[in-house]
Structure 1
């Protein structure tokens, strides 16, 4: 369950994070294993395990997460950046609490892997 993940523990204040943004709907913090000079995770406070489990009632929250991702990228000085949402283990999701990766600060290749 999403509340029992490391992100749930971060949201509850049990594990510290390098916070870069917070509001009533989400929290953004630096990834502890960054894949680029800037690698921030934006997570909803509501525990949605993965994007494929989001429902119609999450529409505003999902839009908010992307707007926050863009805001964080700008705050971090990025003009060009990548947002990634992995949904499911085969897609590379390792923490089952929905999160948006904001990655930038170097040229990013495609396909990503």
Structure 2
């Protein structure tokens, strides 16, 4: 089952300036902003400005400049939010969800950068 890109998804509206956000960092190809329902003391979403649905879509179809710019913005967010390992910090988790089994809610690729506390187990399995 493939997700089609929806121009009316909440992140597309944020990128168009129709919905406000709490910006953490931005460059030519990506935007980082605070999650409105944070699950950790640091919970920032990083989204590409291009129309990509998921990590695999972005990785396969984005330009080299988009991929590099997105990755650099993620590093900037980690440093800015004090969770990056380069300064001896305890660490963070980077999560992206894809499709129904991955519990993706918004059909626009986004990476969650979460930290500021022990994040617990990676996945809790359910029967």
Superposed pair shares fold, TM > 0.5: yes
Deviation at 1:59? Answer: 5.4
Instruction: List runs of 5+ in structure 2 lacking aligned partners.
Output: 84-88
Aligned ranges for residues 37-76 of structure 1 at < 5 Å? 37-54=41-58, 56-58=60-62, 60=64, 61-76=66-81
**Do the aligned residues in 2 keep the contact of 1:38 with 1:103 (CA within 8 Å)?**
yes
Encode CA deviations 1:49-97: one digit per residue, 9 max, x unaligned.
Answer: 1123236442522343233212101101113111111111210210010
| Match for residue 16 of structure 1 among 17, 20, 27 | 20
Could you list the structure 1 runs, at least 4 aligned residues long, displaced by more than 4 angstroms after superposition.
none
**Do the aligned residues in 2 keep the contact of 1:69 with 1:83 (CA within 8 Å)?**
no
Instruction: List runs of 5+ in structure 1 lacking aligned partners.
Output: none
Q: How many residues align?
A: 113
Deviation at 1:112? Answer: 3.2
Greater CA radius of gyration, 1 or 2? 2
Are 2:83 and 1:93 aligned?
A: no
C-alpha RMSD over aligned residues = 1.6
- The normalised TM-score by structure 2 is 0.80
| Match for residue 116 of structure 2 among 98, 105, 110 | 105
Matches of 1:82 and 1:59, distance apart in 2: 25
